């Protein structure tokens, strides 16, 4: 009680000065699938992350930011709301090893009635923007409802992917969505066509008593069924790899080549636009998620193939955005926070020379 009284006294006596009366800006950087052991200031001496290291050097380095889930959708829902993913319905069933939204068009997502930090800050007069990955759903029942969209969660600006980056977005990489289902479908399709051929042969040699109409109907309906699925899979880049500005789709499928530059440009523009008012900018990188798309300038620079190149490119992007903060003289009034949504995608190591990952002090 005595301490409280003292505090009140001190607060009462203190006139708010210029610096404290102006609300601080908040700049959040979130990497995707980055392990704690992959940046310089956490002990990685073979990947160069000077910009992230500088943040640690000039600020504080935290070692206990524990992610609420090991995969994107639930961990990001917890980050935004401060609630356990299970309370927001974002901790899905173990869906073949994945507990995340697997399709952009899925009807699930972060419920509109949840309180995100963006909503709280917006009420406080902040200008709120998210640039990059969302992965917390888009629509509920119809295509223009946008119930789970960032603009319904307290952000007044969105530029990025409503879904997540997947290999399907990079034509040169093997697909990763529903791979087992596709293989099973392909096997079933072959069995089906052998069955049709067998029926035709038997009919021709009069071994079975079946009309041509039945055979034709059977063959046609099966063909339609398999075509439906294979065409659907072929359209995946159109369904899952799209880029939006607010509610509008600006690229479908998106071109990964241009994304790093555009993210920097939009982040800088957002900072410039809001130079005079408090802002929240959440830069949610597409890095370093598979397929580790890295622009030409950064390829082959690191000691860890595309994986390390991708981290170094992300670090460079952070440097570019921080320059904008310095340039606008906002450094002393901006809280800058860098984190990863969860640990490295270690289970992705198999079968690909690109996949690495290090969970540093948390490694098993
Ligand atoms: C949001 O709405 C759902 C469905 O009505 C309800 O179950 C949930 O508790 C609500 N969440 C919050 C944070 O109010
Ligand atoms: C640095 O990161 C790379 C890529 O994940 C990893 O292979 C390497 O083991 C890490 N080094 C240390 C010292 O953790």
**In the chain, where the domains are located:** 3-14+26-165+253-362, 179-233
Q: Which of 37, 289, 344, 362 has the most ligand 2 atoms within 8 A of CB, as the residue to mutate?
A: 37
Q: 38 CA distance to ligand 2 centroid (A)? A: 6
Q: Does any ligand 1 atom lie closer than 6 A to the CB of residue 90?
A: no
β-sheet bridge partners, residue 98: 95
Q: Which of 36, 42, 44, 315 has the most ligand 2 atoms within 8 A of CB, as the residue to mutate?
A: 44
Kindly write down the DSSP assignment for every residue of 287-337, as one continuous string.
Answer: TTSTT----GGGTT-SSSHHHHHHHHHHHHHHHHHHHHHHHTT-GGGEEEE
**Run of H or E residues at 280:** strand 279-284
Q: Does any ligand 2 atom lie closer than 6 A to the CB of residue 38?
A: yes
In the chain the first and final C-alpha atoms are separated, in Å, by 46
Q: Does any ligand 1 atom lie closer than 6 A to the CB of residue 88?
A: no
Q: Does any ligand 2 atom lie closer than 6 A to the CB of residue 37?
A: yes
Each residue's pLDDT, cut to its tens digit, for the chain (364 residues) gives 333 333 333 333 334 444 446 899 999 999 999 999 999 999 999 999 999 999 999 999 998 878 999 899 999 999 999 999 999 988 866 656 568 888 898 888 999 999 999 999 999 999 999 999 999 999 988 878 899 999 999 999 999 999 999 989 998 888 888 888 889 999 999 999 999 999 999 999 988 888 999 999 999 999 999 999 989 888 889 999 999 999 999 999 999 999 999 999 999 999 999 999 999 999 999 999 989 999 999 999 999 989 999 999 999 999 999 999 999 999 999 999 999 999 998 877 545 555 688 888 887 5
Q: Does any ligand 1 atom lie closer than 6 A to the CB of residue 81?
A: no
Q: How far apart are CA 4 and CA 356, in angstroms?
A: 51
- Looking from the CA of residue 115, the nearest atom of ligand 1 is 13
Task: Among the bound ligands, name the one nearest to the CA of residue 306.
Answer: 2
Q: Which residue's CA lies nearest to atom 5 of ligand 2? A: 357
- Looking from the CA of residue 113, the nearest atom of ligand 1 is 1
pLDDT at 23: 94
Q: Does any ligand 2 atom lie closer than 6 A to the CB of residue 324?
A: no
**Fold for the domain defined by 3-14+26-165+253-362:** Alkaline Phosphatase, subunit A (3.40.720)
Contact 341, 78 (CB under 8 A): no
Q: 286 CA distance to ligand 2 centroid (A)? A: 20
pLDDT at 360: 85
Q: Which of 45, 46, 48, 354 has the most ligand 2 atoms within 8 A of CB, as the residue to mutate?
A: 46
Contacts from 85-90 at CB under 8 Å and sequence distance 24+? 88/114, 90/136
Q: Does any ligand 2 atom lie closer than 6 A to the CB of residue 132?
A: no
Q: What are phi and psi of 31, to 5 degrees?
A: -90, 160
CA distances 224 to 130, 188, 213, 269, 275, Å, are 42, 14, 16, 49, 57
Closest CA to 343 of 364, 362, 323: 362
- Looking from the CA of residue 112, the nearest atom of ligand 1 is 1
**Run of H or E residues at 270:** helix 259-273
- Total-model pTM: 0.88
In terms of residues, how long is the chain? 364
Q: 19 CA distance to ligand 1 centroid (A)? A: 38
The residues assigned a catalytic role are: 72, 135
Q: Does any ligand 2 atom lie closer than 6 A to the CB of residue 157?
A: no
Positive or negative torsion for Cα 292, 266, 137, 106: negative
Both tokens of 285, joined, read 């990188």
């Amino acid at each position: 009680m005595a301490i409280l009284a003292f505090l009140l006294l001190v607060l009462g006596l203190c006139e708010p000065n210029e610096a404290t009366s102006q609300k601080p800006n908040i700049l959040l950087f979130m990497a995707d699938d980055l392990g704690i052991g992959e940046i310089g200031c956490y002990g990685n001496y073979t990947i160069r992350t000077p910009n992230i290291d500088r943040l640690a050097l000039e600020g504080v380095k935290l070692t206990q930011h524990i992610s609420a889930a090991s995969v994107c959708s639930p961990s990001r829902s917890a980050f935004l709301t401060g609630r356990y993913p299970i309370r927001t319905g974002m901790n899905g069933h173990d869906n073949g090893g994945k507990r995340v939204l697997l399709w952009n068009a899925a009807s699930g997502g972060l419920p509109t009635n949840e309180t995100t930090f963006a909503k709280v800050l917006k009420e406080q007069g902040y200008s709120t923007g998210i640039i990059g990955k969302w992965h917390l759903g888009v629509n509920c029942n119809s295509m223009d409802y946008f119930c789970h969209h960032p603009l319904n969660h307290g952000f007044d600006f969105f530029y990025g992917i409503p879904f997540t980056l997947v290999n399907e977005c990079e034509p040169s990489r093997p697909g990763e969505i529903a791979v087992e289902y596709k293989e099973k479908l392909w096997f079933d399709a072959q069995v089906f066509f052998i069955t049709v051929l067998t029926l035709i042969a038997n009919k021709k040699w009069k071994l079975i008593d079946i009309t041509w109409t039945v055979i034709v109907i059977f063959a046609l309906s099966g063909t339609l069924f398999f075509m439906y699925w294979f065409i659907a899979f072929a359209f995946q880049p159109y369904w899952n790899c799209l880029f939006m500005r607010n509610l509008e789709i600006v690229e479908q499928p998106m071109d990964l080549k241009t994304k790093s530059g555009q993210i920097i440009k939009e982040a800088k523009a957002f900072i410039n636009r809001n130079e005079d008012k408090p802002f929240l900018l959440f830069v949610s990188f597409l890095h370093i998620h598979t397929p580790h798309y890295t622009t030409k300038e950064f390829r082959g620079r690191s000691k860890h193939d595309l994986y390390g190149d991708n981290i170094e490119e992300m670090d460079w992007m952070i440097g570019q955005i921080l320059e904008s903060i310095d340039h606008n003289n906002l450094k002393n009034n901006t809280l800058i926070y860098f984190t990863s949504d969860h640990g490295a995608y270690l289970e992705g190591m198999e079968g690909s020379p690109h996949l690495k990952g290090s969970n540093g002090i948390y490694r098993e």
